[in-house]
Amino acid sequence: MRHPRLTRLLDYLYPPSCHHCDTPTQDGRYLCKKCTSDSARVKPPFCDRCGEGYDGTIDSPFLCPNCQHLDFSFLFARAALRNTHANHQLVVDFKYLKKFYLANELALFCKETMESDRRFSELPSPVLIPVPLHWRRKWHRGFNQAAEISRQLERHTHIPTRNALSRTRNTKTQTRLGRSDRLKNLEGAFRFSKLDPHFKSVILVDDVFTTGSTATACAEVLKKHAPQLENIVVLTALRG
Give the residue-averaged pLDDT of 18-29.
90
What is the tens place of the pLDDT at every residue in 65-78? 989 888 889 999 99
pLDDT value, residue 165: 97
**pTM (global) more than 0.85:** yes
10 pLDDT more than 70: no
Amino acid in the structure at residue 20? H
pLDDT value, residue 133: 93
What gap in Å lies between CA 31 and CA 102, rounded to an integer?
9
DSSP secondary structure, 101-159, as one string? THHHHHHHHHHHHHHH-HHHHT-SSEEEEEPP--HHHHHHHSS-HHHHHHHHHHHHH--
pLDDT value, residue 146: 98
Q: Which of 191, 75, 85, 91 is closest to 149 using CA atoms?
A: 91
What gap in Å lies between CA 212 and CA 41, rounded to an integer?
19
pLDDT value, residue 142: 87
Tell me the percentage of the chain whose pLDDT exceeds 70.
87
pLDDT value, residue 186: 73
